[in-house]
Structure 1
Amino acid sequence: MTNFTGKDIERKLKILIVGLGGIGSQLTDLVVPALSIGHVSVELYLMDDDNVELHNIGHQKYQHHEIGQSKVSSLYERYSIYQNVKIIPIEEKLTENTQLEMYDIIVVSVDRDNPRKIVHSSGKAWVDLRCQGDGWMMLDSDTDSNIVCSFPKNEQPVSCQLVGAIDEGNIQFGFAAVAAIGAQWVLQKIRMSHGVTTKVPRFSMGYLTHGEMRFSLGGLKSE
């Protein structure tokens, strides 16, 4: 378990979201307004090197007039008006551990395994949010390492939408489900850092259609 100290209470927490696709952009849209009405000020860093494309519009928090813009600049322009949250855009990929040294809390919501491994080994409080179709999975820095290592690795990008779903207008909402879980995790971690006794969501996975799955190292079962 990651412990916060009195020094964390005295300064603004630095929170990083790596990946601003379906999950990351949705999580940003949930977290920023929620933080703006609270009593805690944070710095929220948004990291992604992609531009907004037409096929993003159906399931990511972008609009048609933003096509061609960088994702970080689009979200910065939208959310920098909120109080209590300083938005810092970082238009780059996560490729090495040194990029994570300054952060207290890290959200990784990417479609490749290498950035996930970098975050997992950072020693920070982290949450790893994944989805495909209407399925979703959430791991965090308190999840048993045997569970974290047991999942297949994605060396190539894997879309959160099933093949053909965007063209057919059959958008699947696993990304929204896991973004909500991630937003709950982030806000409760922030409250913990300020001495509040609370709980965060734990490792979970499931499908919107079939329900939550119970996991053991021996296999999966639906509830």
Structure 2
Amino acid sequence: MNTPQQPLNISIIGAGGIGSNTCLLLVNALRNGVIAEHLGGIEFHLYDGDEVEDANLIHQRFTPSQIGMLKVDALAETFADIHAAVRLIPHGINLRDSNSLADAHIVIVAVDRPEPRRIVHSLEGKEWYDSRCMGDFTLLLTDQSDPVMIEALTPEHAPASCQPEGAIESGAIQFGFANAAVHLADAIMRSLLRRCGHETEFPDSICDSITKGRIDIFGTPVEPVMTVAPQATKPWSDEDDRILLDGLDHNGRDLDEISRELGRSPNALFHRLRRLMERGDVDAEAGE
């Protein structure tokens, strides 16, 4: 536990769509200093090696005058005078190992790359949050989430934007990043309140869509079904999509049960759901 001589260290990996908007929500919420002073001060350690680009201004919390700056430096500049007990400390690097997080009390990973996610997942005895989005779809995992589910939802993949392909160029922005930031900021605020002695409910995992609502994929712990799912190499059919959407939307079935019926891994189901939402195939009537 932090002491008045040791400010609470909140380390945020990633200063893009989710990370920068989470900073905006959390840091402004701490503006009056009451919570920060009670906790002996709060330091936000920001990790990101990217610079602000013009395309970032559409959905990330930067201004035209900050183009060319490191994102972490820009955020530290924006919130430099928020309160004496609240500091933003920029680190213009991408996370490569856990050494930088040794002194962190709370760790947030908000980048769409598996390597930093796995570094955070491997931390022992630390409170952490893994926030993700695609289109209007949001996923939040925590150190309290089922380990098998965490592993299943963290495969190897190339880095990806939180926006569907062509969305920034066309202006058809989707707001899953903002939804993710709200869920994440709310979870962190609840953690801070608990550290101040307040009683509050605390989420361990969230799967949510702005258009579809809360999706229960965490009903029961996921059990390893098979090394290679029997349908893994087969294209998705309309019937497969119907079973997936109907099961989650109306029947309250968990991801493991649907995985067994379709013969596909939980990770395949999760990414198929992301793809359907990205294409706009999912709406309030899906599955009917």
State the TM-score, normalizing by the size of structure 1.
0.92
**Sequence identity, in percent?**
34
Secondary structure of residue in 2 paired with 1:14: strand
- Paired position in structure 1 for 2:35: 39
Q: In the alignment, is the contact (CA less than 8 A) between 1:9 and 1:193 conserved in 2?
A: no
Shift of 1:214: 1.1
Secondary structure of residue in 1 paired with 2:217: strand
Equivalent position amino acid for 2:89 in 1: I
- Paired position in structure 1 for 2:113: 112
Shift of 1:91: 0.6
- Paired position in structure 2 for 1:222: 249
Shift of 1:54: 1.2
Distance 2:35 2:212 in 1: 38
2:218 is the counterpart of 1:182: no
Greater CA deviation, 29-38 or 126-135? 29-38
Shift of 1:9: 4.7
Distance 1:79 1:157 in 2: 28
Secondary structure of residue in 2 paired with 1:139: strand
Q: In the alignment, is the contact (CA less than 8 A) between 1:9 and 1:194 conserved in 2?
A: no
Q: In the alignment, is the contact (CA less than 8 A) between 2:35 and 2:192 conserved in 1?
A: no
Q: In the alignment, is the contact (CA less than 8 A) between 1:17 and 1:107 conserved in 2?
A: yes
Q: In the alignment, is the contact (CA less than 8 A) between 1:45 and 1:89 conserved in 2?
A: yes
Aligned pairs, how many?
Answer: 217
- Paired position in structure 2 for 1:65: 65
1:97-136, aligned counterparts within 5 Å? Answer: 97-123=98-124, 124-136=126-138
Shift of 1:39: 3.1
Shift of 1:198: 1.9
The structure having more radius of gyration, on CA atoms, is: 2
| Higher normalized strand content (fraction of residues) | 1
Shift of 1:99: 1.5
Instruction: Tell me the alpha carbon deviations over residues 176-200 of structure 1, each in whole angstroms, 9 at most, x when there is no partner.
Output: 0010110011111122223332222
Q: In the alignment, is the contact (CA less than 8 A) between 2:48 and 2:94 conserved in 1?
A: yes
Secondary structure of residue in 2 paired with 1:36: coil
Unpaired segments ≥5 residues, structure 1: none
Q: Measured at CA, do residues 12 and 134 of structure 1 come closer, stay the same or move farther in structure 2, by a change above 3 Å? A: same
Q: In the alignment, is the contact (CA less than 8 A) between 1:161 and 1:172 conserved in 2?
A: yes
Q: In the alignment, is the contact (CA less than 8 A) between 2:35 and 2:196 conserved in 1?
A: no
For CA contacts below 8 A with separation 6 or more, give which structure has more relative contact order: 1
- Paired position in structure 1 for 2:193: 191
Shift of 1:135: 0.6
Secondary structure of residue in 2 paired with 1:157: coil
Segments ≥4 residues shifted beyond 3 Å: 216-220
State the TM-score, normalizing by the size of structure 2.
0.72
- Paired position in structure 1 for 2:142: 140
Q: In the alignment, is the contact (CA less than 8 A) between 2:114 and 2:154 conserved in 1?
A: no
Greater CA deviation, 24-33 or 36-45? 36-45
2:22 is the counterpart of 1:27: yes
Distance 1:166 1:93 in 2: 24
Distance 2:142 2:206 in 1: 10
Unpaired segments ≥5 residues, structure 2: 224-243, 251-288
Shift of 1:34: 0.8
Q: In the alignment, is the contact (CA less than 8 A) between 1:14 and 1:44 conserved in 2?
A: yes
- Paired position in structure 2 for 1:171: 173
Shift of 1:92: 0.5
Q: In the alignment, is the contact (CA less than 8 A) between 1:181 and 1:201 conserved in 2?
A: no
Shift of 1:67: 1.1
Cα RMSD, aligned residues only? 1.6
Equivalent position amino acid for 1:90 in 2: H
Shift of 1:212: 1.5
